[in-house]
């Protein structure tokens, strides 16, 4: 079982104390180093064991799985180990979705993946030495194959399998236990703001709001309205995947509270303005004919998040380095 790192606890005063041209650049650099040191330490574990052929990466939504896997790959390649990335998102089933009682589509459960195809693909890769990796197009829910995603496993190559359910036994069981290592990643920290607190879940929701609005064309209230589906599913798998993982990586960057929170607050306020003036468009995360699954609760949660984010100092996202995990969300 992975040992969870100590919870990082900050106060608003802690964040404000880091502002200014003399302190803030070091605050950013130290935060980034905390994360990269963890990835590099895991890479050293991999490099020290020549038997390792596969790395399994799991974590909840907006935890930094993709960036951590990319940084790990770069580290391994720099030390002479070729890597092959496989994203479990490409194995979504291309059939009708299931919905909860309020109309939210289930993109989160393990059985939304085509486990039969995944087993066949990994079997071919690790037993026959080659396979084809599909590409899944979310807009059309269509899966197809491309020539450049035909891969061959050579001696010494390491496969990095990354996704929400990367540590599910039905995924990892295709590789002998002695030939694999794994880690579970998520931000593990909180900020105290007066009597209220930003939790681990809040951190990831703020990250996802910023990402969904900037990169997926949805509104902040859409993301908040969908969050109960995410929250329910994660409660089912986070404890089990933490227990299955060899290592834990804390993806919290302490300075992100001064960057992600203000970005998310801006997007939430835009959504609330549209709600109050009657121009909020139908969510893409529901089939509810009302346009949202539970708009009343989503607006309440949006108001809570705005209040909390208003307590935090704001810094331009231009301070975020190009290779940072936060680039996934800004």
Q: Please provide the average confidence, as pLDDT, over all residues in the chain.
A: 93
Report pLDDT for 21.
Answer: 86
Superfamily of chain region 8-328: P-loop containing nucleotide triphosphate hydrolases (3.40.50.300)
Tell me the pLDDT tens digit for each residue of 267-318: 999 999 999 999 999 998 999 999 999 999 999 999 999 999 999 999 999 9
Report pLDDT for 141.
Answer: 73
pLDDT at 259 over 90: yes
62 and 283 Cβ atoms separated by less than 8 Å: no
Contacts of 206 (CB under 8 A, 6+ apart): 198, 260, 261, 264, 305, 309
pLDDT at 31 over 70: yes
Question: What average pLDDT does this structure show over 321-327?
Answer: 96
The Cα 293–Cα 233 span in angstroms is 17
The Cα 122–Cα 71 span in angstroms is 23
Question: What average pLDDT does this structure show over 88-111?
Answer: 90
Report pLDDT for 196.
Answer: 67
Report pLDDT for 137.
Answer: 84
Report pLDDT for 139.
Answer: 67
The Cα 60–Cα 235 span in angstroms is 10
Banded model confidence at residue 6, pLDDT cuts 50, 70, 90 = confident
Cβ burial, residue 182 (10 Å; 0-12/13-18/19+):
buried
Query: pTM (2 decimals)?
Result: 0.94
- Which residue in this structure is represented by tokens 């050579």? 154
Q: What percent of the chain has pLDDT over 90?
A: 78
Report pLDDT for 147.
Answer: 81
At residue 135, the 3 state secondary structure works out as: strand
Report pLDDT for 193.
Answer: 72
pLDDT at 225 over 90: yes
Tell me the pLDDT tens digit for each residue of 180-216: 999 999 999 999 876 667 888 999 999 999 999 988 8
- For 30-62, letters b (16+ CB in 10 Å) and e give ebbebbbebbeebbeebeeeeebbbbbbbbbbb
Across-strand partners of 136? 143
Parse the chain into domains and list their residue ranges: 8-328
- Which residue in this structure is represented by tokens 């599909």? 134
Tell me the pLDDT tens digit for each residue of 128-174: 999 999 998 876 778 888 888 889 999 999 999 999 999 999 888 88
pLDDT at 327 over 70: yes
């Amino acid at each position: 079982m992975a040992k969870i790192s100590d919870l990082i606890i900050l106060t608003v005063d802690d964040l404000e104390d880091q502002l200014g041209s003399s302190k803030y650049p070091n605050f950013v650099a130290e935060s980034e180093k905390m994360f990269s040191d963890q990835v590099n330490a895991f890479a050293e574990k991999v490099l020290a064991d020549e038997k390792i052929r596969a790395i399994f990466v799991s974590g909840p939504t907006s935890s930094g799985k993709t960036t951590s896997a990319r940084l790990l790959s770069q580290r391994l390649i720099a030390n002479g180990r070729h890597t092959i990335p496989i994203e479990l998102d490409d194995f979504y089933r291309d059939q009708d979705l299931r919905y909860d009682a309020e109309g939210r589509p289930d993109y989160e459960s393990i059985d939304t993946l085509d486990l039969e195809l995944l087993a066949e693909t990994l079997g071919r890769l690790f037993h026959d030495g080659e396979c084809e990796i599909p590409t899944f197009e979310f807009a059309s829910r269509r899966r197809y194959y491309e020539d450049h995603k035909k891969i061959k496993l050579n001696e010494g190559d390491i496969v990095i399998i990354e996704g929400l359910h990367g540590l599910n036994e039905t995924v990892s069981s295709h590789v002998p236990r002695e030939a694999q290592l794994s880690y579970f990643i998520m931000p593990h920290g909180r900020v105290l703001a007066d009597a209220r607190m930003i939790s681990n879940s809040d951190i990831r929701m703020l990250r996802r709001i910023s990402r969904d609005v900037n990169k997926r064309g949805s509104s902040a209230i859409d993301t908040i309205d969908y969050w109960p589906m995410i929250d329910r599913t994660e409660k089912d798998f986070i404890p089990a995947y933490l227990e299955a993982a060899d290592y834990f990586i804390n993806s919290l960057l302490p300075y992100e509270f001064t960057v992600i929170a203000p970005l998310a607050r801006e997007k939430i306020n835009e959504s609330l303005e549209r709600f109050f003036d009657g121009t909020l468009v139908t969510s893409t995360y529901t089939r509810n004919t009302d346009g949202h699954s539970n708009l009343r609760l989503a607006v309440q949660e949006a108001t809570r998040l705005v209040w909390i984010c208003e307590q935090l100092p704001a810094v331009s996202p231009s301070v975020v380095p190009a290779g940072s995990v936060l680039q996934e969300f800004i």
